[in-house]
């Protein structure tokens, strides 16, 4: 997309709401992030997301929301680049995607999604990669490692004698100081506004 395309989109969207994928078919592919802040980590040779993930659309489904999630793009000079995305809609609803060595691994807390991936998983490569189902531990390990490595947050340990939880349910993530400060500020503002 060039400057002319951007100007055309701005003009059209000033008159009425126009989803990106309806403006250009280039945006109807897979997932389009509208706000994704990445920081480079020389220690881990990777880019990692900071803050909430802004999602414009997924295919032809208009989303336009900011959600909790984690993105990591690892630069590996030997095996090639790797990309991992964990979208956390709630404690019970999440999606994980991992790309490495020509394979796109997918899993979710949604059993219907997982069944569709398993049914469509093919031994042949399509568009230079193969879609494969992965298991829950891989997704949970990515999330746990991301939180510990980049945010210094350890999941709350399980208490002895506690009932086992659903393997698909996410562990609670303690809030960091910036999140606590933002929530306190928002609460004060909401009280002023009467909400």
Q: Are 74 and 82 in contact (CB under 8 A)?
A: yes
Query: Is the pLDDT higher at 78 or at 15?
Result: 78
Q: Flag whether 25 is in a domain.
A: no
Task: Tell me the per-residue pLDDT of 3-58, one tens digit each, with 9 for 90 and over.
Answer: 777 677 677 777 776 655 555 656 556 788 889 999 999 999 999 999 999 998 88
Q: Flag whether 10 is in a domain.
A: no
Q: Flag whether 4 is in a domain.
A: no
The residues, ordered by sequence, that sit 6+ positions from 62 with a Cβ below 8 Å of its Cβ are 19, 21, 56
Nearest to 34 by CA among 14, 60, 56: 56
Among 29-43, 70-84, 149-163, name the one with the lowest average pLDDT: 149-163
Q: Three-state DSSP class for 173?
A: coil
Q: Flag whether 84 is in a domain.
A: yes
Q: Flag whether 23 is in a domain.
A: no
Q: Model confidence at 69, in pLDDT bands (50, 70, 90)?
A: very high
Q: Is the dihedral of CA 78, 79, 85, 91 positive or negative?
A: negative
pLDDT at residue 153 in the model: 87
Q: Flag whether 16 is in a domain.
A: no
Nearest to 138 by CA among 180, 102, 167, 178: 167
Report the relative pairing of strands 94-100 and 103-108 from DSSP bridges: antiparallel
Q: Flag whether 36 is in a domain.
A: no
Q: Which residues constitute the domain of residue 125?
A: 76-193
Q: Model confidence at 164, in pLDDT bands (50, 70, 90)?
A: very low
Q: For the chain, how many structural domains are there in total?
A: 1
Q: Flag whether 31 is in a domain.
A: no
């Amino acid at each position: 997309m060039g400057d002319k395309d951007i100007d055309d989109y701005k003009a059209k969207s000033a008159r009425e709401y126009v989803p990106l994928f309806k403006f250009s078919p280039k945006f109807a592919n897979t997932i389009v992030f509208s706000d994704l802040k990445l920081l480079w980590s020389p220690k881990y040779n990777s880019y990692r997301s900071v803050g909430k993930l802004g999602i414009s659309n997924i295919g032809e489904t208009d989303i336009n929301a900011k959600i909790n999630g984690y993105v990591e793009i690892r630069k590996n000079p030997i095996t090639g680049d790797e990309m991992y995305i964990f979208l956390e809609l709630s404690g019970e609803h999440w999606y994980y995607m991992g790309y490495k060595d020509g394979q796109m691994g997918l899993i979710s807390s949604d059993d219907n999604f997982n069944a569709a991936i398993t049914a469509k998983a093919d031994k042949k490569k399509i568009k230079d990669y193969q879609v494969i189902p992965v298991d829950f531990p891989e997704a949970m390990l990515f999330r746990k490692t991301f939180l510990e490595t980049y945010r210094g947050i350890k999941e709350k340990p399980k208490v002895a004698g506690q009932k086992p939880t659903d393997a698909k349910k996410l562990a609670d993530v303690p809030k960091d100081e910036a999140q606590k400060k933002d929530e306190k500020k928002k609460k004060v503002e909401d009280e002023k506004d009467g909400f």
